[in-house]
Amino acid sequence: MKTKLVDVAVVGAGPAGLAAAWSASEHGAKDVLILEREERPGGVLKQCIHNGFGLQYFGQDLTGPEYASRLLERVSRTGADCWTHSMVTSLRPGELTVFSPKHGPTTVRAKAIVLATGCRERTRGNLVIPGTRPSGVLTAGTAQRLVNLHGYLPGRRALILGSGDVGLIMARRLTLEGVEVARVVELMPYATGLPRNVAQCLHDFGIPLQLHSTVTRILGWPRLEAVEITDLASGRVELLSCDLLLLSVGLICENELVLSAGLELDPRTGGPYVDDRLALPVPGLFAAGNGLHVSDLVDRVTVEGELAGLQAARHAASGVQEPVRRIPIISDEGVRSVVPQYVCEQGPQEVVLAIRVQEPLRQARFELWSSGRVLARHTERACAPGQLVLWGLERRAFASADEPCRVRVLGEPLCAPESAHELREGEPQDLLCVICPLGCRLQVHAQGHELLVKGAGCPDGRRYARDEFVQPKRAFTTTIPTIWGRPLPVRSTGGVPKEKLLAIPPRLASLRILRPVKPGEILLPDMDGAGTALVASEGGP
């Protein structure tokens, strides 16, 4: 087998990997090689054609392809190389085995390695749903790829199991492509995706969300014909006819490589154990992104990738000395997971803990404690398991601990999403606030020229209520068939009135892209009769 020597090797060209490669180059790494198993870089962002990315990191509302192309542009300005169609099959300290059709089977030796392997979806087999094994049962992300990158629909009438973000996004996406989404069914008594997605993917289109229920049987062969839904509270069983079952029931960090190196995984995250430099217990090995722990926002993944890239560059340059002492951070009461799992005694002043809670909470009070002593406190107005709580602390808070530090959270149970359910049928001026997981019920009244907002817990909520009352607008995204095969992701330049969303796709039905387009190119100057333009989210072919 051929051998290739590099300073930093990055496994995965998704947002974490691209950020890591850029950052490693920026911080002086000479030879940076990204290994990507797919046909082109960008990771899952390629198929996330919807908007909502980049508000934190770029300060702009971007689609997935737009976000990916920004990261790619930065990487392309450095000397980093990217091998596509290239899968890493095993990891030993400082060494990767790579299968690449262009370069052949290769051993890549790297002074530092960043694992940015992303995550995969839980399957029907993991859930143990009994029944037949027909076509029409897919994970939501696989369906998203088929629709957005291949341009084909996997069914006519869908049921979505799981209210995770991918499932919610797919509910809207399929609806806009003419697939009937009969229902979203969620095991938990609350929606697990972001409130914004519940509002804008389900409520906007009148798609029912059935909580505290699950699919208990799959029927039909060779094509799915129906699923059996059981309401866990009442035990009521119902058959619902559909030819597509999408599963959005959780993500699993991809860590075969970590295991192949003989390292352990944290059962709480499914990712490797890292310290606050994102370093694994083997020198020169770093991890970032959804392969480390499943994140809620790509912006966060990007920042993490940058940190891993920086650390990898440093390690490659000098073979950084391993820290003297690492203080273990243990997830305690109410906390599902904390990353990093270790904090080094020495390092930059601030340490950020990414915490996932077990249950939705209001007035959540986080505590870092050790040897019976509380070292630091932090409060969040509301938080839910679907989101990461980021808590910035001073490093010296940890340094004073003699024993492992524990993170716990106390708060009142939050069941706002149930109100979301009721409100769907409510009066038009009743709104569910999507600004935070608190999910305040908002009421808007016009009084003369003034709009009065009741029920909002914060100024952001009041602003949201006014905007929604005056004219609720949504960005519109879809794909357009092209002569070169792969569909072109497109978006509206501004917001489209919410009630007009479903009127747009039929108008675009006969649109074909017949010539190469540049990213951001205007394809239709006025797509909705109100001057909103349709632009390309990425270039092609």
Partner 1 sequence: MMQANEHAPSALYDVVVIGGGIVGCAVLWELAKYDLKLLLLERGPDVATGISKANSGILHTGFDAPPGTLEAALVTAASHRFPDVCKLLDVPIRRCGAIMVALNEEDLQACEEVLEQARANGVHDVQRLSRAQLLEMEPNVNPCAVGGLLIPRESVSCSARLTIAYAESAVLNGAEVGLNEPVLGLAPTPDGLLLQTPRRQVQTRFAVNAAGLYADDVARLVGDESFRITPRKGEFFVLDRHASGIVSHIVLPVPTPTTKGILVAPTVDGNLIVGPTADDIQDKADVATTADGLRRVAEGARRLVPSLRPEQYAIAQYAGLRSVCSTGRFEIRPSCACPRLIHAAGIRSTGLSASPEIARTVRELLAAAGLSLKERPGYRPERPGIQRVRDADPEQLERLYSLDSRYAHLVCRCEHISEAELVRAIHSPIPARTLDALKRRVRVGTGRCQGGFCTPRVLEILARELGLPPDSICKDAPGSELLVGPNKWRWMQAHED
Instruction: Give me the residues that bind partner 1 (CB under 8 A), please.
Output: 1, 37, 85, 87, 89, 99-105, 120-121, 123-126, 128, 130-135, 138-139, 141-142, 145-147, 149-156, 177-179, 216-219, 221-223, 243, 259, 479, 481, 487, 505-506, 508-510
Give 309's contacts (C-beta < 8 A, 6+ positions apart): 8, 10, 19, 20, 21, 22, 23, 24, 25, 26, 27, 29, 114, 288
Amino acid at position 126, single letter: N
CB of 1 to partner 1, least distance (A): 5
Q: Which two tokens stand for residue 245?
A: 């079952």
In the DSSP assignment, the letter for residue 522 is E
Rounded Cα distance between 65 and 536, Å, is 10
CB of 174 to partner 1, least distance (A): 10
Nearer to partner 1, 121 or 266 (CB): 121
In the DSSP assignment, the letter for residue 482 is B
Nearer to partner 1, 6 or 257 (CB): 257
Nearer to partner 1, 145 or 474 (CB): 145
Q: State whether residue 30 is helix, strand or coil.
A: coil
Q: What is the CA radius of gyration of the chain?
A: 24
Nearer to partner 1, 26 or 81 (CB): 81
Nearer to partner 1, 119 or 432 (CB): 119
Measured distance between the N- and C-terminal CA atoms of the chain, rounded to whole angstroms: 34
CB of 218 to partner 1, least distance (A): 8
CB of 479 to partner 1, least distance (A): 6
Nearer to partner 1, 120 or 365 (CB): 120
Nearer to partner 1, 53 or 83 (CB): 83
CB of 121 to partner 1, least distance (A): 5
Nearer to partner 1, 146 or 458 (CB): 146
One-character DSSP codes across 234-258: T--EEEEE-SEEEE---EEE--HHH
121 and 141 Cβ atoms separated by less than 8 Å: yes
Nearer to partner 1, 104 or 529 (CB): 104
Rounded Cα distance between 322 and 246, Å, is 46
Q: Which helix or strand (DSSP H or E) is residue 403 part of?
A: none
CB of 83 to partner 1, least distance (A): 11
CB of 495 to partner 1, least distance (A): 22
Rounded Cα distance between 79 and 21, Å, is 10
488 and 482 Cβ atoms separated by less than 8 Å: yes
CB of 309 to partner 1, least distance (A): 24
Q: Which one, of 261, 268, 262, 220, lies nearest residue 244 by Cα? A: 220
Rounded Cα distance between 118 and 289, Å, is 6
Q: Which two tokens stand for residue 107?
A: 């051993």
Q: Which two tokens stand for residue 236?
A: 């009521």
CB of 146 to partner 1, least distance (A): 5
CA 122 to mean position of chain CA atoms: 14
Nearer to partner 1, 448 or 506 (CB): 506
Nearer to partner 1, 324 or 509 (CB): 509
In the DSSP assignment, the letter for residue 135 is B
**Positions of E strands within 162-278:** 180-185, 209-210, 213-219, 226-231, 237-241, 244-247, 251-253
Characterise 267 by phi-psi region: left (phi > 0), alpha (psi -120 to 50), beta (else). Answer: alpha
CB of 113 to partner 1, least distance (A): 19
Give 473's contacts (C-beta < 8 A, 6+ positions apart): 467, 494, 495, 496, 497, 498
Rounded Cα distance between 202 and 197, Å, is 7
Q: Which two tokens stand for residue 390?
A: 């980021």
267 and 297 Cβ atoms separated by less than 8 Å: no
CB of 103 to partner 1, least distance (A): 8
Nearer to partner 1, 89 or 371 (CB): 89
355 bridge partner residues:
338, 389
CB of 247 to partner 1, least distance (A): 9
